[in-house]
Chains A and B, each alone.
Chain A
């Protein structure tokens, strides 16, 4: 379970997040939505420990990570995987090496076993026979898939997605959404998806949380969310400018 208790984050005098309280159950898929600059990516980065909150606590299972050192965080991060907005594949490595990276770094598996796992994970995301390609030879959608294969290669308990549909066409977006759903079902992982794509959030999430100007203004199941009376939520749903 992920628990966020009274978390605030300030950059200088500017508040990026104000008094956020949130719980995400094991095996749940939560979509965090909000406009550009609303603070949703900051919230995601706090949950992974890439930045520390100014106030409050962040619990990943039994570990309170908000004041952990980088060394301590490494043990917690072994239970996490992340799909970055622009994939963040290591451009000096092949696709196969990218997917194998966590396994090479943290296990003593022989090369053959790692190659098998890489093949299996790539197959799981619908990519086969691309191990030898370099990231710059892939399309945006393929990069996202490889990024997901890399995230699940080490068998994480939690997967974070930062804008998984960003920069993709509607058909590829739907395929990535299906992949997120199938990954969640196959592995039973907890998923946290930061997105500004309402349709995508409704498709993949059990619950949706909305961040507006650094505050968590609404959280509910995907079915109920669209019926919330809050004008800011309604405007976001209608695709209007907030």
Chain B
């Protein structure tokens, strides 16, 4: 009984290490392919396909996050006579954490899943093999453009999301909590530094990288059949979200820790 249990645990650990090893090798291969001339047409197509299509969901997510965050904080801050800090607090929270992390999570669901679904379908229908037979590296042709596109698009979406989020906060602060528009803006001017937003954008670049690479990894390694495509897509979303939260903690330490 104990032997069986230990064997199962050992097999599980070995499988996870194998998966991690394959992922690292794919990442190294992707980095190596960066030495080639970038496929600009593909990168722009991916940016359009993955980025523009995510605008709506990012807008809604950050708008309502800004709204709820201000609803929760403004009332308490006004009670303590600190209404002059609301704009700053909302902006810092969105710029440093909520913006990049929520855009990352939304993109993991929207973009990561789309990448995995597309690549795994290509794998199942032998299109990946066709690329290899035609002497074209799938890593260079499929992964690099998606990775670069995500590393550009996720920060751009974060900038957009940050603005929408602060706008949501401004609406509640001004029209619900009765804080003047001048005070809200002045608070941003006093408390917020450029670093509060650029730090968030640095995180977003890493999140974009992780989403694309995990999306491609699960796509390239998906099991055969339609069920395999579904499983691979789910794995991408789960793994990307977990990776984003862990990476966020690490990056926050380096970007804002000092």
User: Hey, which bits of chain A sit against chain B, CB under 8 A?
Assistant: 48, 50, 70, 73-75, 77-78, 80-82, 84-86, 88-91, 101-102, 105-106, 150, 154
Instruction: Tell me, rounded to whole Å, the shortest Cβ–Cβ distance linking B66 to chain A.
Output: 37
Taking A78-B135, A102-B135 as given, write out 6 further A-B residue pairs in contact, using a Cβ cutoff of 8 Å, ordered by the A residue number: A74-B136, A84-B126, A84-B129, A86-B125, A86-B126, A90-B127
Across-interface contacts of B136 in A (CB, < 8 A): 74, 101, 105
B134 contact from A70, A75, A85, A101, Cβ within 8 A: A101
**How far, in whole Å, are A108 and B126 apart by their CA atoms in the complex?**
27
State whether the Cβ of B22 lies closer than 8 Å to any Cβ in chain A: no
User: Hey, which bits of chain B sit against chain A, CB under 8 A?
Assistant: 122, 125-127, 129-130, 132-137
**How far, in whole Å, are A106 and B127 apart by their CA atoms in the complex?**
18
Across-interface contacts of A84 in B (CB, < 8 A): 126, 129-130
Q: List 9 A-B contacts (CB under 8 A).
A: A50-B133, A74-B136, A75-B135, A78-B135, A80-B133, A88-B126, A89-B127, A90-B130, A101-B136
**How far, in whole Å, are A75 and B137 apart by their CA atoms in the complex?**
12
Instruction: Tell me, rounded to whole Å, the shortest Cβ–Cβ distance linking B18 to chain A.
Output: 13
Across-interface contacts of B122 in A (CB, < 8 A): 90
Check B127–A85 contact: CB distance below 8 A. Answer: no
**How far, in whole Å, are A73 and B133 apart by their CA atoms in the complex?**
9
Check B135–A74 contact: CB distance below 8 A. Answer: yes
Across-interface contacts of A154 in B (CB, < 8 A): 134
Instruction: Tell me, rounded to whole Å, the shortest Cβ–Cβ distance linking A181 to chain B.
Output: 22
- Nearest chain-B residue to A77 (Cβ)? B135
Interface centre among A81, A88, A101 (most CB of B within 10 A): A88
**How far, in whole Å, are A101 and B137 apart by their CA atoms in the complex?**
13
Given A86-B125, A88-B125, are A105 and B135 also a contact pair (CB < 8 Å)? yes
Across-interface contacts of A80 in B (CB, < 8 A): 133
Interface centre among B127, B133, B135 (most CB of A within 10 A): B133
B135 contact from A86, A89, A106, A150, Cβ within 8 A: A106
Instruction: Tell me, rounded to whole Å, the shortest Cβ–Cβ distance linking A153 to chain B.
Output: 9
Instruction: Tell me, rounded to whole Å, the shortest Cβ–Cβ distance linking A241 to chain B.
Output: 25
Across-interface contacts of A86 in B (CB, < 8 A): 125-126
- Nearest chain-A residue to B128 (Cβ)? A88
**How far, in whole Å, are A101 and B130 apart by their CA atoms in the complex?**
11
Across-interface contacts of A90 in B (CB, < 8 A): 122, 127, 130
**How far, in whole Å, are A11 and B136 apart by their CA atoms in the complex?**
26
Check B132–A50 contact: CB distance below 8 A. Answer: yes
Check A85–B135 contact: CB distance below 8 A. Answer: no
Check A91–B133 contact: CB distance below 8 A. Answer: no
Check B127–A91 contact: CB distance below 8 A. Answer: yes
Check A82–B135 contact: CB distance below 8 A. Answer: no
B132 contact from A75, A77, A105, A106, Cβ within 8 A: A77
**How far, in whole Å, are A84 and B166 apart by their CA atoms in the complex?**
53
Across-interface contacts of B126 in A (CB, < 8 A): 84-86, 88
**How far, in whole Å, are A86 and B137 apart by their CA atoms in the complex?**
21
Instruction: Tell me, rounded to whole Å, the shortest Cβ–Cβ distance linking B183 to chain A.
Output: 52
Instruction: Tell me, rounded to whole Å, the shortest Cβ–Cβ distance linking B50 to chain A.
Output: 14
- Nearest chain-A residue to B138 (Cβ)? A70
Across-interface contacts of A106 in B (CB, < 8 A): 135
Check A70–B137 contact: CB distance below 8 A. Answer: yes
B129 contact from A50, A81, A105, Cβ within 8 A: A50
Across-interface contacts of B127 in A (CB, < 8 A): 88-91
Across-interface contacts of A50 in B (CB, < 8 A): 129, 132-133
Instruction: Tell me, rounded to whole Å, the shortest Cβ–Cβ distance linking B257 to chain A.
Output: 40
Instruction: Tell me, rounded to whole Å, the shortest Cβ–Cβ distance linking A118 to chain B.
Output: 15
**How far, in whole Å, are A115 and B21 apart by their CA atoms in the complex?**
43
Instruction: Tell me, rounded to whole Å, the shortest Cβ–Cβ distance linking B108 to chain A.
Output: 23
Check B135–A88 contact: CB distance below 8 A. Answer: no
Check B137–A74 contact: CB distance below 8 A. Answer: yes
**How far, in whole Å, are A74 and B147 apart by their CA atoms in the complex?**
23
Check A105–B130 contact: CB distance below 8 A. Answer: no
**How far, in whole Å, are A85 and B130 apart by their CA atoms in the complex?**
11
Q: Which 8 A-B pairs have the closest CB atoms?
A: A88-B126, A88-B130, A74-B135, A77-B135, A82-B133, A84-B126, A102-B134, A78-B135
Across-interface contacts of B134 in A (CB, < 8 A): 77, 101-102, 105, 150, 154
- Nearest chain-A residue to B132 (Cβ)? A50
Across-interface contacts of B133 in A (CB, < 8 A): 48, 50, 77, 80-82
Across-interface contacts of A105 in B (CB, < 8 A): 134-136
